[in-house]
Amino acid sequence: MKLLVTGGAGYIGGVVAAQLLDAGHEVVVLDDLSTGHADSVPEGARLVRGTLREAAFDVLDGGNFDAVLHFAARSLVGESVEKPGLYWDSNLGESLALLDAMRRAGVDRIVFSSTAATYGEPESTPILETDPTRPTNPYGATKLAIDTALAEYARLHGIGGVSLRYFNVAGALLDGRRVQGERHTVETHLIPNVLKVALGERESVKVFGEDYPTPDGTCVRDYIHVVDLGAAHLLALDACEPGVHQIFNLGNGNGFSVREVIEVCREVTGHPIPAEPHPRRPGDPAVLVASSEKIRSQLGWKPERDLRAMVADAWEFARRAR
């Protein structure tokens, strides 16, 4: 198939673009490089630089594309609270431009990188696709709005869409030929920040709250290896049905606590990684874990790599990237 990958110069988009090439597909990446890196686009994919508003239709029109995989988005929760207008304009506005470009160009399949942040603070865990969606920040709200738009374009224009909702992605693609991991200008994810301590770039890692109602008192979160996540996108691509919008959660089923993550990082790196206790952050739920039973039963997906593999691959990438 000929596929357009928006945001393919980013962490997850770059890994999925590489996996698509390995599967024998033709890949074109559309990215404005505002947060991505041109060298994250895998060899064999063609990079078009531009926003979705500027370039999506020009790329898709007459290009005989079979489908789109949509990763382009702003994704910092704190920034979304500070600049909600930016997030509504960038995430929802650009996505609507992409959907309209698809409609006009006759491309009728899309896999969307959504988020489990659409659920907000859950009433119970693990979170199911049928649970209420009550996002607590503009980032999650914009992603939910895109899910709604996908459902409408499916109903009104026959587009087949799959939204994949997940929390934390970790690890790296290390296949001998390519090395692709997290390179964020502003790093908010736990594992890379813990590894910065092991690399000597920070003195300690901050632990926000040690009195949660969890087995060790720290927050429990969902983590998925980026390679497993990419495999889910490839399965979702085959599952797109014209006129139907489907939603699947991706989760490990149990979650890992902050202390567990830090301890595994210590084991993998051989560094003591001092942890510094801090008060809870406002709005941090004790447990956020998504159920992936629906995608397991319908598409046959299940995560194959454990927390240690995520940390080991992220550590290898971090050392190579220095």
Catalytic site residues?
139
Where are the alpha helices (H) located in the chain, listed in sequence order?
Answer: 11-22, 52-60, 77-82, 84-87, 94-105, 138-157, 190-198, 226-239, 258-269, 293-299, 307-321
| Token pair 């997906």 in the structure block, residue | 301
CB 142 within 8 A of CB 80: yes
Q: What is d(CA 273, CA 198) in angstroms, rounded to the nearest whole number?
A: 6
C-alpha triplet 268, 269, 273: angle, nearest 5°: 115
Strand ranges for 114-228 from DSSP E: 160-166, 168-170, 173-174, 179-180, 205-208, 220-221, 223-225
How many Cα neighbours within 13 Å face the side chain of 312?
Answer: 8
Helix, strand, coil percentages for the chain (3-state, nearest 5): 40, 20, 40
CB 13 within 8 A of CB 5: yes
CB 303 within 8 A of CB 252: yes
Backbone angles phi, psi at 158, to 5 degrees: 75, 10
| Token pair 């979702």 in the structure block, residue | 236
How would you write 228-241 as a 3-class SS string? HHHHHHHHHHHHCC
